[in-house]
Amino acid sequence: MYKRMLVPLDGSNLAEVLVDYAKKLASVMGVEAIMFNVLSPEEKAMLPMHQAYVERAAEKIISGAQNKPVKAWGQVAIGSPVDEIKKHAKKHNADFVLMATHGRSGFSRIVIGSVADSLLRESKLPVWLIRSGISEKRVKDTSPEGRLALLLDGTKRAEASIPHVEMLSRQFGAELTEVELISVCQNPEITSDYPASMPLSWDEYVASEKEKCRRNTGKYLKEVADRLMESGIQVRYEALMGDPAVEIIDHIKRSNFSLIVMATHARSGFSRWAFGSVAEKVIKGVTTPVFLVRSK
């Protein structure tokens, strides 16, 4: 079970949205929240003001608890945001880092390129991302439980995210959560040396390969769904066809998902594009929160 989250804040408007989201997570999941801020050495004199800022954020978490009492406290560190987040996440045994992307200042300008990527490369700590574009009203009106999208590519490395989906479902409440497994079949590449002697025309060959991919992907997703349903989780699955990033983004925009879960840094499937392409395109292309898990 997840017990503690580290929540880096930078004083931006997006950080305020992040506090509201953290309040919901703390209440629904019963996790302790460490509201965290990092100063540069030149800003050391401002430490009391920043300490008051994170303590106010912690008070919002505590006062906003609805289902059960929760713990929250604030801490300020001095140094590099990347180093301090990693150090304090480890020091306080955080189960994941909840952070904002694409804000106006502070951590936000380096989250995807540095902090989150560094955490995923150098530790096994999941990173839960809230990006700009998610409205404050949406955060206040919705809960993290609901419909979870789990992105898979058929590899064991991508399946590193499955235990996290199981844990999230249990803490959200299995009866309140539905998991949708999503995988994408890519269109066969057009080759210039397609043999004229082939019994199938190019169009027939493409149609045959698409159907084969759909069957294999559907079979794979059903096997994963069956395993999850044995744990009491509500599951459905969807095999898409086309460019992975485009199809995933379009499907998510058409659906009402509360969270996207995916593994990063595998060697095949999504990992061909790894953190720098598909995952980043998905993060930038949707406003749904994303839970990133490092694969081994």
Q: Are residues 135 and 152 in the same domain?
A: no
Between these two residues, 15 and 103, which has the higher pLDDT value? 15
Predicted confidence at residue 267, as pLDDT, reads: 42
> Residue 264: beta bridge partners?
294
pTM of the entire predicted model:
0.85
Residue 76 confidence (pLDDT): 95
Average pLDDT over residues 125-151: 74
Residues 210 and 107 in one domain: no
- Residue 51: what pLDDT? 95
Strand spans (E) along the chain: 4-8, 32-39, 72-78, 96-101, 127-131, 147-151, 178-185, 234-241, 259-264, 290-294
Look at residue 254 and tell me whether its pLDDT is greater than 50: yes
Q: Are residues 162 and 218 in the same domain?
A: yes
Tell whether the model's pLDDT for residue 151 goes beyond 70.
Answer: yes
Task: Indicate which CATH number applies to the domain containing 9.
Answer: 3.40.50.620
Structure tokens at 142: 């919705």
Same domain, yes or no, for 48 and 128? Answer: yes
- 24 within 8 A of 136, measured Cβ to Cβ: no
Let me know whether 190 and 121 are in one domain: no
How confident is the prediction for the chain on average, in pLDDT?
81
Q: 164 and 45 share a domain?
A: no
Whether residues 94 and 117 fall in one domain? yes
Least confident of 61-70, 117-126, 165-174, 240-249: 117-126
Q: Which of 140, 172, 205 is the last residue of a domain?
A: 140
In tens, the pLDDT along 169-179 reads 999 887 878 99
Mark whether 129 and 162 lie in a shared domain.
no
Distance between CA 228 and CA 177 in Å, rounded? 12
> At residue 194, does pLDDT exceed 60?
no
Estimate to the nearest angstrom the gap between the alpha carbon of 120 and the chain centroid: 12
Considering the domain architecture, whether residues 163 and 189 belong to the same structural domain is answered as yes
As for how many domains the chain has, the answer is: 2
